[in-house]
Amino acid sequence: MGAVSLKIGDGTARFKRATMYSSAVNFLMLFSVITTNLFALYAFTYHTPTIHHYSNNNSYPKNISLISEKVSLILREIESSQKKLTQMEKQLLGYESIDLSRPNIAIELKQFLNHHLLPLGKDSRTGITEMVASVGHSCEKSVDLLSEFMNYKVNGLCPDDWSLGQKLILRGCEPLPRRRCFAKAIPKLGFQSFPISLWKNVSEKSFSWSGLGCKNLACLNIKKLNRDCAGCFDIVKGYETQKYVKGRSKNDFLIDDVLAMVVGGGGIRIGFDIGGGSGTFAARMAERNVTIVTATLNVDAPFNEFIASRGLFPLYLSLDHRFPFQDNVFDLVHAANGLDVGGRSEKLEFLMFDIDRVLRTGGLFWLDNFYCSSDDKKSALTRLIERFGYKKLKWVVGEKVNGAGKSEVYLSAVLQKPVRV
């Protein structure tokens, strides 16, 4: 459940920052509009009487040049403030390209980002003449961390710093630059063949624990890592072994019931799980010959390595990143509280449109036990979903009592993507 829930921690901070930036930008916009209007007001209230004044004594036609001179002065002033505004906006949003002339920029970062001319000149098919390496525009905001990340010995061992990379990703610095060093190798002990591997413990030494609070699975299992992973690393005896095959509440749909909802058209063969915890959804689907890619970061736990150790496909990607899949490819998208991307409604909209994009017509979007912290949140999500025109194959709003004895509202739904023309 990394990708998503990790958002609950650091992601919230990022969201707050983003909100702050956007209010600053809004304020600047407002400021610009007000100044422009004030200038206009000034031009009319101050200069209009002047015109009348001069028109009273016949020098008005000559003095019009004076007025137009003042007007053009004002226009120049407006233009230059608008330029300044654009500049400030760029800086706030971090769109300015990374300034490689700054002191303390790692040499490797320059090497990576410098444009390289194509060896054979212009490519006739694409028309490009140089290769441009990509790095997230928001990296500019964390350029010191980025430089630290790019500070290593070329051809040597990388520092054991995957968590530094993830910290950058959580700050919106995605994609990260490539590096020319060897990542720390971790011997994989106790791996089993597939499909036995789906439900077998492997040695804890197979995971990287650097930068994590917990140093073993037992520690992870007593921690509520996020809403979709409480004890989710216990795949031998824990609740994980019942998930999707035995429901605890009417909000828990069973995989076989959902798979039976699509008949014909090949049924459900491939799918995408957003923030899929330790990979149990993908494991249950694998048992039914459905291939699932599980998107997750490693927030507070080695989710990616754990999923991979089960013989499943982890995708190390934050939810702020456009999904690296072509349109209309998946038969199913499964998401739980990973969808909880913070307060700004546009953020969830962008995500929902991306989910819709990768889902094929007739494919299913399974919203699994999404926690609605307020009635507003529930209605906002409901309205958003309804705008997409999905067919509601299942729609359950249920209540659960949490550990503190308070009742919480959850939404589970299976929705079918409609034919759009």
Ligand X SMILES: *[C@@H]1O[C@H](CO)[C@@H](O)[C@H](O)[C@H]1NC(C)=O
Q: Is 402 in the site for ligand X (CB under 6 A)?
A: no
HSE-CB of 14 using CA atoms within 13 angstroms: 24
Distance CA 105, CA 97 (A): 14
CB of 271 to ligand X, least distance (A): 15
Choices 62-70, 97-105, 143-151, 293-301; region in contact with ligand X by CB under 6 A: 62-70
CB-based burial of residue 26 (10 Å sphere; 0-12 exposed, 13-18 middle, 19+ buried)?
exposed
Crossing angle of helices 48-56 and 60-93, in 10° steps, is 170
DSSP string, 269-301: -EEEEET-TTSHHHHHHHTTT-EEEEE---SSS
Choices 39-47, 149-157, 213-221, 319-327; region in contact with ligand X by CB under 6 A: 213-221
Structure tokens at 44: 């009319």
Give the three-class secondary structure for 181.
coil
Site for ligand X in 65-94 (CB under 6 A): 66
Q: Is 221 in the site for ligand X (CB under 6 A)?
A: yes
Q: Is 326 in the site for ligand X (CB under 6 A)?
A: no
CB of 279 to ligand X, least distance (A): 14
Choices 21-29, 217-225, 263-271, 356-364; region in contact with ligand X by CB under 6 A: 217-225
The residue among 59 and 134 lying less far from ligand X, judged by its C-beta, is 59
Q: Is 201 in the site for ligand X (CB under 6 A)?
A: yes
DSSP β-ladder status, 229-230 and 359-372: unpaired
Q: Is 218 in the site for ligand X (CB under 6 A)?
A: yes
- C-beta of residue 328 within 8 angstroms of C-beta of residue 313: no
CB of 362 to ligand X, least distance (A): 20
Q: Is 283 in the site for ligand X (CB under 6 A)?
A: no
State the binding string over 26-55 for ligand X (x if CB under 6 A, else -).
Answer: ---------------------------x--
Distance CA 185, CA 81 (A): 54
Choices 97-105, 118-126, 232-240, 409-417; region in contact with ligand X by CB under 6 A: 232-240
Query: Position 250: which residue type?
Result: K
Which of 289, 326, 374, 407 is in the footprint of ligand X by CB under 6 A? Answer: 289
Q: Is 288 in the site for ligand X (CB under 6 A)?
A: yes
Q: Is 59 in the site for ligand X (CB under 6 A)?
A: yes
Choices 68-76, 233-241, 247-255, 378-386; region in contact with ligand X by CB under 6 A: 233-241
Which of 45, 62, 120, 124 is in the footprint of ligand X by CB under 6 A? Answer: 62
Crossing angle of helices 345-358 and 375-387, in 10° steps, is 40
Structure tokens at 339: 């969808």
Distance CA 385, CA 119 (A): 49
Which residues make up the interface to ligand X (CB under 6 A)? Answer: 53, 57, 59, 62-63, 66, 201, 217-218, 221, 233-234, 236, 288-289
